Structure 1
Amino acid sequence: MWNFLPPRSALLLVLLASAAMARGRDVNVRSAYIFGRHDEGVDRLYVTPDAATILRFQQPCDAAGTKMLGWEGRFEPVGCTGKSVVVVPLVRIEPEDRFLLVVRLADGTEVPFTLSGATRKEGEWPDQQVNVFLAPDTREELKDQLKTAREMRDGLMDDVRRFYREDTPDHALAKLLAAGASKQTPFKLLKKRVIKSEGEETTVRIYKGKAKAAVLFTVTNHDPSKPWNLLEARLVTIRPGENPEPYVFGDKKPFALRADRDEIAPGESGNVAVVVDRSAFTTENGNAELILEIYRKDGWRQAYVVLDERLTRQ
């Protein structure tokens, strides 16, 4: 069926990458402000065996006075070094579980925390670093609050700018593909391949069109408990004959991306669609091949596709 394709300079190549890391990993860092008497309220931490949780205080902690109840067999011994307390689960903690952690600081202050299993709900993602401020009325603490508020504002502004920047015809086409409405687009399916790996199955569909190409990734999440999330997609140039393993450092090219959901729950499938304009293949030295990569949230490259400019011809 595919004999018309040249043997070496095939229009595309789909491979699963096993050890390439994405730049700019997602790290969940937040600040916890504890007001008034510290025994009047208990801050909650959400933990997972996939990552350590670090508590950062403004003063050193007392290792002898820092304890957790019922940790045996489920956590490593609580670490207390300098101003940091480290919590490392050994097994998955259920959302309904509760473990009491009491941190004693150098001045004798005891700060209690309740540890629970992380979930996919908003606000219950795993805590990787928590900066703890007691009675935040000092200049340093107020500055941190102001910094957090400004970061939230800047994040909202970035979302607004991205919304207007992504309101293009190519994004509309990508949205149709992600919604499973490929027949409403000008694209023709060229090739389909299924990639199976531990925890996921990825179906890759390559489309050709007039002056544009498209790729649709359908990810089925077989993990029994963890959702699948897209961290980022990259489209970069690749030199002729260059090996795309394990990572490609080419010039970045623009593309349009749409997904049909924010995350893929265990046992479910979701789509990520990318549309590439013919102009993306143009370089100072003529037309170049491009490599399209998608990375899941833990930083590992899920799959990549090598695209040729001929995909944009009809």
Structure 2
Amino acid sequence: MAVAQERFASERFPSVRSVYVRDDPQARAEQLFVTRHVTTVLRFEQPCTEAGTKMLGWEGRFEPVACAGKRVLVEPLQALEPEDRFILVVRLVDGTEVPFTISGSSWKEGEWPDQQVNVFLKPDDPDALRKQLEESQKRERELWNQLAVESFTGSSEDHTLAALLTQGAVRFTPFVFRKAWIFKNEDSNIQASVLTDGKEKVAVLFRVTNKDPSNPWRLMDARLFVLPPGFQPPLFVGEARPFALRADKKVIPPGETGFVAVVADKSVFDSPQGPSKLTLAVFRHDGMLAAHVTLDRRLFKK
């Protein structure tokens, strides 16, 4: 359970990341991504100076840049276009000046708003090396998790069917609608529709509407478990079963809708003890449960 909790907590939004600035005149300024009414915090290893820290052309677009000890606070007053660029120069108490390029976030991969950026000016110092090691280990864990999920998915045919469902092309699949649930969360509304082809396959299509006014919605994981006799969902400790997973977009921007589809073979219900009930659960980017449905082999009865 501790491993699962660590994985669920491994992603947060808005993001916290580190940058390592080397004393190189040819190095380009680090880029920061900001969004309206969200404060981005730059965290240094030494205090900054209010007088020497400046942003060009900020008037009317940002709150005044503030130095608070070892932190610099940046907050846009209005939405910025992804192509907008502002130059921020932070001066530290030892006279070092660190330049940054500030841009509006675009919700693309790698361009989500920064919540906190830890700035290391001496990448070879013990603290910086320790942080780089932690980040490297985190990336390895995420890659391992991704590979583990991918290796446990269904056939290429099932992936194709799942992709068609996310594109609204149900008519090109053998599936027909069976039942649906609606989940109303703080950040989203999710409709989960169960479909079968009546013979060999079952599918669940999640229609996710992002209600958050400023943050995107991202899928972290989906899991299909055998539901042990006598237990009620949500339960995520049973035997895992294979499935195919597809989503129509990596990120669902505020106010927009996206689709996640799961397709599995009828054999996932089989067990030595006879037909099993299954629990299918989807988790959002921070590891919180977003929706879950119970599947029964009786779905295949006409």
Q: Residues 156-208 of structure 1, C-alpha deviation per residue, up to 9 Å, x if partnerless?
A: 44444433222447656534544556567664322468999999886653214
Alignment of 1:256-275 (within 5 A): 256=243, 257-263=245-251, 270-275=258-263
Q: Secondary structure at the match of 1:128?
A: strand
When the two chains are superposed, the root-mean-square deviation of aligned CA atoms in Å is 4.7
Alignment of 1:1-314 (within 5 A): 24=9, 25-27=11-13, 28-36=15-23, 41-49=28-36, 51-168=38-155, 174-175=162-163, 177-178=165-166, 182=170, 187-191=175-179, 204-208=192-196, 209-210=198-199, 213-219=202-208, 229-233=218-222, 251=237, 254=241, 256=243, 257-263=245-251, 270-275=258-263, 292=280, 294=282, 297=285, 305=293, 307=295, 310-314=298-302
Unpaired segments of 5 or more residues in structure 2? 1-7
Contact kept in structure 2, 1:33 and 1:133, CA below 8 Å? yes
Q: Residues 238-274 of structure 1, C-alpha deviation per residue, up to 9 Å, x if partnerless?
A: 999x8x9xxx566466463222443457898653112
Give the superposition deviation at 1:276. 5.5
Q: Secondary structure at the match of 1:100?
A: strand
Give the superposition deviation at 1:62. 3.2
Contact kept in structure 2, 1:238 and 1:250, CA below 8 Å? no
Aligned partner of 1:26: which letter? R
CA distance in 1, matches of 2:162, 2:133: 38
Contact kept in structure 2, 1:255 and 1:275, CA below 8 Å? no
Aligned partner of 1:190: which letter? R
Compared CA separation, residues 59 and 292, structure 1 to 2 (3 A): same
Q: Residues 96-126 of structure 1, C-alpha deviation per residue, up to 9 Å, x if partnerless?
A: 3233322222323222222110113443222
CA distance in 1, matches of 2:41, 2:30: 14
CA distance in 1, matches of 2:217, 2:280: 19
Contact kept in structure 2, 1:45 and 1:113, CA below 8 Å? yes
Compared CA separation, residues 118 and 184, structure 1 to 2 (3 A): closer
CA distance in 1, matches of 2:278, 2:21: 51
Unpaired segments of 5 or more residues in structure 1? 1-22
Aligned partner of 2:203: which letter? A
CA distance in 1, matches of 2:27, 2:195: 60
Give the superposition deviation at 1:135. 4.4
Q: Secondary structure at the match of 2:83?
A: coil
Aligned partner of 1:311: which letter? L
Compared CA separation, residues 205 and 137, structure 1 to 2 (3 A): closer
- Structure with the greater relative contact order (CA < 8 A, sep ≥ 6): 1 or 2? 1
Give the superposition deviation at 1:76. 3.6
Give the superposition deviation at 1:136. 2.6
Contact kept in structure 2, 1:39 and 1:112, CA below 8 Å? no
The count of residues paired between Structure 1 and Structure 2 equals: 289
Give the superposition deviation at 1:211. 7.0
Give the superposition deviation at 1:133. 1.8
Aligned partner of 2:94: which letter? D
